[in-house]
Amino acid sequence: MDFYKNEPSVLLAVDCVIFGFDGESLNILLFKRAIEPEINKWSLPGGFVQADESPETAAARVLKKLTGLADIYIEESQVFGAPDRETYRRVVSITYYALIDIHKYEHIITHEYEAKWFPLSDYPPLIFDHQHMIEVAKRKLRSKAALYPVLFELLPEKFTLPQIALLYEKTYDIVLDRRNFNRKLLHSGLLIKLQEKDKTSSKRGAYYFKLDKDVYKEKIMSFLRYLPSWNIGSEKDQ
Amino acid sequence: MDFYKNEPSVLLAVDCVIFGFDGESLNILLFKRAIEPEINKWSLPGGFVQADESPETAAARVLKKLTGLADIYIEESQVFGAPDRETYRRVVSITYYALIDIHKYEHIITHEYEAKWFPLSDYPPLIFDHQHMIEVAKRKLRSKAALYPVLFELLPEKFTLPQIALLYEKTYDIVLDRRNFNRKLLHSGLLIKLQEKDKTSSKRGAYYFKLDKDVYKEKIMSFLRYLPSWNIGSEKDQ
DNA sequence: GCAAAAGTGTTAACTATACACCCATGC
DNA sequence: GCATGGGTGTATAGTTAACACTTTTGC
């Protein structure tokens, strides 16, 4: 059985745009590249898809290896496969974006790799088309987060209303009316109020909330039935 | 320069989920497969990414070859790359979905290939994981169409309000209130009313509309700023 | 004249927006 | 006691949802 024998083969890579929110800005995790070519330049973490794994598995493996984290929210972003996108060989890259709780990462990080968080709004030049990958991932994240409450994946187990609001502001580059946004959140059924307060950012303290896991899963998994709302949401500069 | 030399390579394919709307149901175009393995079974149209082309270009090439149509709306759907997804060799497939005006297709079709439209709700068994590809494409189309008015790509230049409504109904498996839906459409700024009427489906006739291309492009291209609306739109059975 | 589809208008419920003040606390 | 960020309430506008009848015309 030797079908397809005249078809060209390619190297298949995965690259990951890892988003993290530190309470101030939305960040991406970049790595000093450890292999040739372009060694020591900033890049997205990536690797090659091995013979026994699917691309998704490869992305999860790369993330596990580089951040120590498993069970991370990963979403496919886009394939980058222009014939000349890398200099020396043809490599087709499938990009994923991951949403992680930056604090978990800080505890587990192995310092085997030179990695650094950069604000999404200000990161250094990257190799190949990695900057483009980030822009696409950002756009996909915005679309996804408009329909599903995925941004909670960026927050710790316990979080405060001001934190969520800031996260949405940074994700969409907008300024929200906190009063209205709070109300929307509280009415969503997603949040369970805790007694404990976060006193790190104010004297009064802000109540912690946690996710109602059941409601959250339902909303995350739900299959869209109807929503077309293409009259709103875009190009309205504040 | 012989970087990456120990990395495995794969065959890279593209498969296309071609959506078409015939005025009654939302359909997909399936082909009797012309090559081994699995020759003569129903499948999604596809092909291999060649050395000098990007996956997107490959998808466009396949569509052109099989349907005769160029300048079609194509969107990347998802990568299918489980190691064992094909029986004989490892092939990683990037799936795209295309939205075409079924009537244009009917004029241009070359009958070199055995192809047939099937309703999205009732198509024959397919090879490999192609059924899964269709399900994913449907989900992606729903999400996309919730934020951007892409479904107009499925309609002819001139279309009527009842046609659009039916298209949305078939896409989301819902029943719409035509009065409200009409109003929403007319207020969207997307439509330009023509004098001419379509008399094929009623005695009275329904006015034709065409797209306001400028408004349409703006809405299609627009970069999401804010919209989170994860309180609505899902799991509400009628 | 009647069947069959197209089209329209009104009210009620809801959601989003705009806006300003009090609260709790550490210093 | 005051500066700082946290939290709440209300009125308005806008949007969506629910609802039924009239229009047109080919037969």
pLDDT(A107) > 90:
no
pTM reported for the whole predicted model: 0.93
Please check whether residue B19 is in contact with residue B141, taking contact to mean a CB–CB distance below 8 angstroms.
Answer: yes
Q: What is the mean pLDDT of residues B144-169?
A: 95
Q: What is the mean pLDDT of residues A81-96?
A: 94
Q: What is the mean pLDDT of residues A75-102?
A: 95
Task: Indicate the pLDDT class of residue A108, thresholds 50, 70 and 90.
Answer: low
Closest CA to A228 of B212, B211, B229: B229
CA B28 vs. chain centroid, Å, equals 8
Please check whether residue B30 is in contact with residue B126, taking contact to mean a CB–CB distance below 8 angstroms.
Answer: yes
What is the reported pLDDT for B223? 80
Q: What is the mean pLDDT of residues A15-37?
A: 93
Q: How far apart are CA B44 and CA B169, in angstroms?
A: 24
Partners of residue B224 in chain A, C-beta under 8 Å: 139, 142-143, 146, 172, 233-234
Q: Which domains does chain A have, with CATH numbers?
A: 11-147 (3.90.79.10), 158-234 (1.10.10.10)
What is the reported pLDDT for A154? 97
DSSP A172-195: HT----HHHHHHHHHHTT-EEEEE
Q: Considering chain A, what is the average pLDDT of its residues? A: 90
Residue for token digits 């990568």? B79
Helix (H, G, I), strand (E, B) or coil at A214: helix
Closest CA to B3 of A128, A116, A55: A128
pLDDT(A235) > 50:
no
Q: How far apart are CA A126 and CA A132, in angstroms?
A: 9
User: Percentage of chain B with pLDDT > 70?
Assistant: 94
Please check whether residue A152 is in contact with residue A145, taking contact to mean a CB–CB distance below 8 angstroms.
Answer: no
Asked if A235 has any chain B CB less than 8 Å from its own CB, the reply is yes
User: A89-103, A107-121, A142-156: which range is least confident on average?
Assistant: A107-121
Asked if B221 has any chain A CB less than 8 Å from its own CB, the reply is no
Contact B8 A49 (CB under 8 A): yes
What is the reported pLDDT for B110? 60
**Chain D nucleotides covered by protein, CB below 7 Å:** 3-10, 15-20, 23-26
Task: Indicate the pLDDT class of residue A5, thresholds 50, 70 and 90.
Answer: confident
Asked if B236 has any chain A CB less than 8 Å from its own CB, the reply is yes
User: What are the tens digits of pLDDT across the range B100-135?
Assistant: 999 887 766 666 778 899 999 999 999 999 999 999
CA distance A86 to chain B (A): 11
